[in-house]
Amino acid sequence: MSFDLNRVIRGRVWKFGDSIETDAINPYYRHPTMEELKQHTMEAYRPEFPKQVKPGDILVAGRNFGCGSSRPGLVLREVGIAAILAESVSRLFLRNNIARAMPIFMAPGVTGIVQDGETLEIDYRQGVVRNPASGASVALRKFPPLIEKIFQCGGLPEFARERYLAETSR
Amino acid sequence: MGQTMAEKLLSQHNLAGKPVRAGDILEARIDGAMCHYHASQPMYELAVEAGFKDGLPRVWDPERIFVLVDHHQPALSQALADENMIIRREVARLGIKCFHDAEPGIAHQMMLDYGLARPGELVVGNDSHTIGYGAVNAGATGITRADMFYVLLFGELWFQVPKSIKVVLDGRHPRYPIAKDIILYLAGEHGDDLAQNMSVEYSGSLVPELGIDGRMCLSTHGVEIGAKFAMFPADEKTRGFLKGRTDKPYEPLVPDPDAEYEKEIRLNVDDMPFVVAKPHQFGNVAPVEEAAGTRIQQAQIGSCANGRFEDIEIAARMLKGRKVAKGVRFLISPASQQVYLQCLKAGLIEQLVEAGAQVVTPGCGVCQPKVGFLSDGEVCITATTRNFKGRKGSLGAEIYLAGPLTVTAAAVAGAIVNPKEVFNEL
């Protein structure tokens, strides 16, 4: 699924704390299928999340979001999360989101400009996150060109296929 | 300006053939790829999603890919047995040479047992604790499944060169394992993301005293403090460990004396208390006294962090002439068949069973979890990798992390306690 980094994303915010782990995002040892996961993702922190999250919502978190294992956070896309914004993101969670082209942005200071339930606007091209209600904004970190290209391709497996086809059709 | 271990590693593996510095993005040549159970179904699904309708069309080098069934051996359900069948089919189809199937154990321990990660190599694995091979000076790190898909096809992957942290360990090594206390203490003092995206280089006068088992605990837990690499220098102990396990030549990574570090952290272990990580985060660390008196129903030693000989030996030594407290389930799981055999030959397993401990088949089970689930209100103290809420079943259970000595003391006392109060011989 290709993702256009330059599309402005606007959505209602679900706000979480620091060091939210992949066990909470993707508790697949307790809930092995995607349908079950969708009923339980993030319940360790906010039991109402799986029931009340709506397509287009934005997840805002503190530092070290997605720490723990190398499990992907695909379930967040499945329940409709349009983008993740965090003060900082754990290395493997970031790699997962890049490799599966799921929008994730590091924006230091973002937890200070938005309350739970408010709306945020993410403008990657301008490199800024805004709270339209309060007018507050913070900068988001741009990705290097190679990573932008992986997002454009729709993820690393898709990027790999393009390369493979180019190499084998010579 | 000189280079850190990580800068040397990635410069040597840079496909563009030129030196790189912290912050640079590069595409690197991979020396070895560890795939555990996710090598099958998810790889197939990723391939189909990407447009390869028959699955992965090839692997870049069948001799550099190591497949270990790991988490799902022996199979716990028919669904997992079915998945293991797909792994066997794929390994045969792709011609992968190194396949550990009918052998229980943790992939990371087996990678080291079989000498598949060597000093100076860039080794990746689709599991976060792959970083543990840094114990033998390998540049090892966890990657994601989709990253592994790319590696399997091309033997290459993108990286950002990490900044490095120098962790200098000094002090005298006591007569019991202290690696777990060290890493928990560091996480407590400096935060659970103290090395976020960085490379940790261990040095100091304690390092030569640390055995390979203790180094593996510290390197494995690199990921719990956010690190990309967590490396030890290669020394006599490293060479001794590798002897007989690999006959391939290797060139250790040695940092330049004028290498640039983001920060330096010093710890003298003589001043370090016994610590625990309280529920539900790795960095929620306190001296053991702060949790003393907390009743426990389960105690555990195992996993890629603490399922090694020195971890099990200390439990057996302390349990000699003592019993596990009534009602406490004390689960001990060697990390691999080789570790299990080593423990058997040393008579440890007999001592443990006599004292009332339960031995669990080598593997990820006690940590993952697949055995020893907890119910509401239960408390477990464990020398394994993680204590997240719900990690062992109920969201209403509490998990404390501690070193194997502190875990054994709690198993004997039935409650969390300073080990020196239980074991007067220390």
> Mind listing the pLDDT tens digit for each residue in A8-65?
999 999 999 999 999 999 999 889 899 999 999 999 999 999 999 999 999 999 999 9
Closest chain B residue to A162, measured at CA:
B50
Distance (Å) from the alpha carbon of B424 to chain A's nearest alpha carbon: 37
- DSSP E strands, B252-378: 263-268, 275-277, 285-287, 298-301, 329-332, 358-359
Rg, Å, chain B Cα set: 21
Interatomic CA distance for residues B70 and B106, integer angstroms? 5
- Cis amide bond preceding B74, omega within 30: yes
Could you read off the pLDDT of B298-312 as tens digits, one per residue? 999 999 999 999 999
Within 13 Å, how many C-alpha atoms sit on residue B24's CB side?
15
Are the beta carbons of A70 and A96 closer than 8 angstroms? yes
Percent of chain A with pLDDT over 70: 99
Does residue B49 belong to the interface with chain A, where contact is any CB pair within 8 Å? yes
pLDDT at B314 over 80: yes
Local structure of A134: helix, strand or coil: coil
Interatomic CA distance for residues B333 and B340, integer angstroms? 8
- Residue B92 makes CB contacts below 8 A (sequence gap 6+) with none
Could you read off the pLDDT of B219-238 as tens digits, one per residue? 999 999 999 999 999 999 99
A9 phi/psi in degrees, rounded to 5 = -110, 130
CA-to-CA dists, residue B300 to B326, B377, B384, angstroms: 15, 17, 7
The answer to whether the CB atoms of A95 and B127 lie below 8 A apart is no
Local structure of B175: helix, strand or coil: coil
Closest chain A residue to B80, measured at CA:
A32
pLDDT tier at B115 (50, 70, 90 boundaries)? Answer: very high
- Domain residue spans of chain A: 9-168
What domains can be seen in chain B, in order of their start residue? Answer: 5-267 (3.30.499.10), 276-422 (3.30.499.10)
Assigned token pair, B35:
């795939």
Local structure of B102: helix, strand or coil: coil
The answer to whether the CB atoms of A44 and B395 lie below 8 A apart is yes
pLDDT at A111 over 90: yes
pLDDT tier at A1 (50, 70, 90 boundaries)? Answer: low
> Smallest Cβ distance to B226: which of A21, A90, A147?
A90
pLDDT at B281 over 70: yes
H helices, E strands: number in chain A? 7, 7
**Numbered residues of chain A with Cβ closer than 8 Å to any chain B Cβ:** 19, 21, 23-24, 27, 29-30, 32, 43-44, 63-64, 67-70, 72, 88, 90-92, 95-96, 99-100, 144, 146-147, 155-161, 163-164
pLDDT tier at B69 (50, 70, 90 boundaries)? Answer: confident
Interatomic CA distance for residues B287 and B274, integer angstroms? 6
Could you read off the pLDDT of A148-165 as tens digits, one per residue? 999 999 999 999 999 999
Q: What is the mean pLDDT of chain B?
A: 96
Read off the pLDDT of each residue in B180-195 and give the average, rounded to a whole number. 98
Q: Find, among B130, B125, B145, B129, the residue nearest to B41 by Cα.
A: B145
Report long-range pairs for A130-138 (Cβ below 8 Å, ≥24 apart): A132/A10, A136/A112, A137/A113, A138/A107, A138/A108, A138/A109, A138/A110, A138/A112, A138/A113
Q: Indicate yes or no: pTM above 0.95.
A: yes
Interatomic CA distance for residues B311 and B9, integer angstroms? 31
pLDDT at B39 over 70: no
The interface pTM score, or ipTM, of the predicted complex is 0.96
pLDDT at B287 over 90: yes
pLDDT at A74 over 60: yes
The answer to whether the CB atoms of A160 and B369 lie below 8 A apart is no
The answer to whether the CB atoms of B192 and A96 lie below 8 A apart is no
Interatomic CA distance for residues A150 and B146, integer angstroms? 12
Read off the pLDDT of each residue in A119-144 and give the average, rounded to a whole number. 97
Interatomic CA distance for residues B408 and B213, integer angstroms? 18
Q: Find, among B195, B189, B266, the residue nearest to B228 by Cα.
A: B195
The answer to whether the CB atoms of A70 and B57 lie below 8 A apart is no
The answer to whether the CB atoms of B390 and A146 lie below 8 A apart is no
pLDDT at B7 over 70: yes
Read off the pLDDT of each residue in B85-97 and give the average, rounded to a whole number. 91
Read off the pLDDT of each residue in B122-128 and give the average, rounded to a whole number. 97
Domain A9-168 has CATH 3.20.19.10: yes
Partners of B389 on chain A (C-beta within 8 Å) are: 23-24, 44
Give the total residue count for chain B: 426
Does residue B57 belong to the interface with chain A, where contact is any CB pair within 8 Å? yes
Within 13 Å, how many C-alpha atoms sit on residue A139's CB side?
3
- How many residue pairs from chains A and B have C-beta atoms closer than 8 A? 112
Could you read off the pLDDT of B347-384 as tens digits, one per residue? 999 999 999 999 999 999 999 888 999 999 999 999 99
pLDDT at A2 over 90: no
pLDDT computed for residue B37 by the predictor: 66
Read off the pLDDT of each residue in B128-153 and give the average, rounded to a whole number. 97
Partners of A44 on chain B (C-beta within 8 Å) are: 280, 388-390, 395
Could you read off the pLDDT of B97-110 as tens digits, one per residue? 999 998 999 999 99
> Smallest Cβ distance to B283: which of A19, A95, A158?
A19
Task: Report DSSP letters for B19-40, one per residue.
Answer: ---TT-EEEEE-SEEEE-GGGT
- DSSP E strands, chain A: 9-15, 58-61, 83-86, 104-106, 119-123, 128-130, 137-139
